[in-house]
Structure 1
Amino acid sequence: MSGFERGTDGPKVILAGVDGSESSLRAASYAAGLARRQNALLALVYVQPLVPVGAALGAPVAGTTEEIAEGLVTEIREAMERVKGIWQVRWEFHTFRGDPYAGLVAAADELRADAVVVGVSESAGHRFVGSVAVRLVKAGRWPVTVVP
């Protein structure tokens, strides 16, 4: 049988969505532990919004999402250096564009993720459109872990 089957021999790729929020950083830490124990690749994904919220309000936000991505990479590298020698985990950082749900779905498909880990939403707006985590669970395409 050829083709890709998720989860047949344990996860090979664990995707964690990060956006700089405390809950997303906890999700990344949790996913790193899973990846270490499963000897899986940790794919950290930041989804850059297509139109930053501040732009709609007239705020100067040129380059803001790129700065967030760069800051996340720096923070992740520093965290990995602190635990170097205690335990190792293979990891990659990716950026995708779009709304968080669509971006994470695209990332999980492209990276062939076996599992997705996200932090609980810290936004009040999710009450109206549904949180990213709930939408990922409802998609039913991967095991999804939501970290508080």
Structure 2
Amino acid sequence: MGPAVSDSLTAVTEQQHSQGFERGTDGPKVIVVGVDGSDSSLRAAAYAGGLARRQHALLAVVYVQPMLAGGAALGAPVADTTDAIAEDLVAQIRHATEQTRGIFDVRWEFHTFRGDPYNGLVKAADDLKADAVVVGASEQAGHRIVGSVAVRLVKAGRWPVTVVP
């Protein structure tokens, strides 16, 4: 290594120390996980919960309530149904939190957004200033051809995205 390279490495090292880098303290501070009640989304929530616990991060659990214009036009109680799903998800999370209190403590919040799942998760991640996004793999066969929410989030390239099978 020549003197110029050595001097450059020393300057970079000194700059990192002056910025206050400390081993073990960097990493995600807000982890967004998308849930919809499916098995894969609940596995994603469990994975994200473990990640949040290890990183001492806030776990933002997000349910995107679909806006089904066709169902609403036919008089279907869409909002009531999606509200019931959201309430059930919160109850499941609270139950799991109570069962693991003292063993597996995680700071978490529950958020609902309206819209299609992709745009809802993008809005949630932006609004909550997410450092990472975790989603379950799609369980619908057609998504392998057209593309799933997970694939679209990865392609957006705005956050690290973990897809849990």
Structure 1: which 5+ runs fail to align?
A: 1-7
Structure 2: which 5+ runs fail to align?
A: 1-24
User: Deviations along 1:22-80, whole A, 9 cap, x unmatched?
Assistant: 00000000000000000000000000001177557775545000000000000000011
The within-5 A match list for 1:72-87 is 72-87=89-104
Report how many aligned residue pairs link the two structures.
141
3-state SS of the aligned residue for 1:146? strand
User: Deviations along 1:2-31, whole A, 9 cap, x unmatched?
Assistant: xxxxxx921110000000000000000000
3-state SS of the aligned residue for 2:153? helix
User: Deviations along 1:76-129, whole A, 9 cap, x unmatched?
Assistant: 000111111112000000000110000000000000000000000012332453
Give 4+ residue runs of structure 1 displaced > 6 Å after superposition.
none
Corresponding residue for residue 95 of structure 1: 112
| Pairing partner for 2:162 from 142, 145, 148 | 145
Judging changes above 3 Å, is the alpha-carbon distance between structure 1 residues 52 and 88 closer, same or farther for their aligned structure 2 residues?
A: farther
3-state SS of the aligned residue for 1:16? strand
The within-5 A match list for 1:51-130 is 51=68, 60-130=77-147
Structure label with greater radius of gyration: 2
Identity %: 78
Corresponding residue for residue 5 of structure 2: none
Is residue 36 of structure 1 aligned with residue 53 of structure 2? yes
Specify which structure has the higher proportion of helix: 2
- Partner AA of 2:138 in structure 1: S
Corresponding residue for residue 132 of structure 1: 149
